[in-house]
Amino acid sequence: MEQSQIERTKRHYDLHANEVIPRKHALIKRSQSQTIQLKRFHNEVKRSLIESFATRADHVLDLGCGRGGDLNKWFDAKIANVVGVDLSQKEIQEAIKRLHELRSKARGGVIRNRLVDTFNARFLQSDSLGISSPILFASNRHQFDAVTCMFALHYFFGTEHSLRNLLTTVSANLKVGGYFFGVCPDGRRVNDLLKKHNGTFTGLVFSCHIKNEDLPSLQFVSMEKDSRFGMTYTFALKDTASDVTGEVEDSDGSIEFMVFEDLLIEMAAEVDLVPVLEYDRLAFGKLLSLEATKYGLFKHFIPVYDNVEELETVSKLNCAFTFVKVDPNNQSDRHTMGKRQLGYEEHEFRGEVNDTA
């Protein structure tokens, strides 16, 4: 991201973190939210990714960790050490507060069967992601078993330079054989929605608007690589971090950039990150579309919500992605590692109300 965009995004998320509500009241408010079904489903997608690609990992790096909404997921996956990084200092403070609450509950016996003393998490504020690279978050290179980026990748599609810096940082921190995974909006689906509605969609639970100066870019199919960076739109979903409409300058929500699958694959390959093409159907068959796509990286959400078609519309804009780090000195890795299908321990759908994103 450019520095001006960093400052704007930081103000956006600082505002969201400013809302101080007692936890009991926050959980009641959340359970009554119009988007509760979506939040539960999205959390289950993230939980399944973490359990499939990071269970019992020694070290995990989460880029764009926000307020620590995945703490319970990391804990349940028996991850030993997590480093969470975000540009919002106030969201980092909230993440630290949540970590202390989690430890207190575990040590007080409120949470059963959890060995809290084996779980460590560190939260860091940084403005440098996407600006410079590589940024190391451990004493040595290639120390992390997994790197995650949940609903934050789109912020790095503002420029080619920004995405390249992010991916270079990911690769520098990730072990060979380790996974880089997350969830993000698919730029093509966002673009299709905006084309269908002449550049603006306003519904009961979410809104999405292309910036006026970018309207011609809706016809992007034949565009060159460079011109597909910085395709900007605003997005607001009720009762989420994106929903601070009117509170950040002239914003209609979170300012985001369209993510394109082919560009992501191409640039990830430059730093030895290869797409994982096959997912375990037991783990993901009811969450993601696992049918072959043109590139195979993006696995789109397939939610089914009760009587809220608009929630399904916004949810289906999103997809999961997973890369595996290959040995740059072993070219055969590029043809074999990405096609592995991972084993998975069956777990029932939980979708905890207090498992926040």
User: Within a domain: residue 179?
Assistant: yes
User: Within a domain: residue 300?
Assistant: yes
How far does the chain reach from its first CA to its final CA, in angstroms?
A: 22
Taking the C-alpha atoms of residue 231 and residue 242, their distance in angstroms, rounded to an integer, is: 18
CATH code for the domain of 279? 3.40.50.150
Closest CA to 276 of 182, 172, 346: 182
Q: Which residue blocks in 80-235 are alpha helix, DSSP H?
A: 89-107, 160-173, 187-196
CA distances in angstroms from 54 to 74, 94, 231, 243, listed in the order given: 8, 24, 32, 30
pTM of the full structure: 0.86
- With beta carbons less than 8 A apart as the criterion, state whether 245 and 268 touch: no
Which parts of the chain have pLDDT scores under 50?
A: 28, 113, 214-217, 220-222, 246, 250, 340-354
> Domain range spanning residue 266?
3-185+260-339
Taking the C-alpha atoms of residue 170 and residue 276, their distance in angstroms, rounded to an integer, is: 16
Taking the C-alpha atoms of residue 107 and residue 101, their distance in angstroms, rounded to an integer, is: 10
CA distances in angstroms from 34 to 163, 268, 331, listed in the order given: 34, 37, 49
The pLDDT value given to residue 46: 99
Number of domains observed in the structure of the chain: 1
- CA 293 to chain centroid: 21
Taking the C-alpha atoms of residue 13 and residue 344, their distance in angstroms, rounded to an integer, is: 35
Strand partners, 301: 288
- With beta carbons less than 8 A apart as the criterion, state whether 35 and 239 touch: yes
User: Within a domain: residue 269?
Assistant: yes
- With beta carbons less than 8 A apart as the criterion, state whether 201 and 208 touch: yes
The pLDDT value given to residue 333: 66
Which tokens in the block code for residue 113?
A: 């069967």
Which tokens in the block code for residue 180?
A: 């880089």
User: Within a domain: residue 239?
Assistant: no
User: Within a domain: residue 78?
Assistant: yes
- CA 196 to chain centroid: 26
The pLDDT value given to residue 352: 40
Which tokens in the block code for residue 279?
A: 């997912």
User: Within a domain: residue 235?
Assistant: no
Count CB atoms within 10 A of the CB of residue 287: 22
User: Within a domain: residue 240?
Assistant: no
The label of the residue with tokens 């001006």 reads: 4
Taking the C-alpha atoms of residue 268 and residue 275, their distance in angstroms, rounded to an integer, is: 9
- With beta carbons less than 8 A apart as the criterion, state whether 184 and 321 touch: yes
User: Within a domain: residue 297?
Assistant: yes
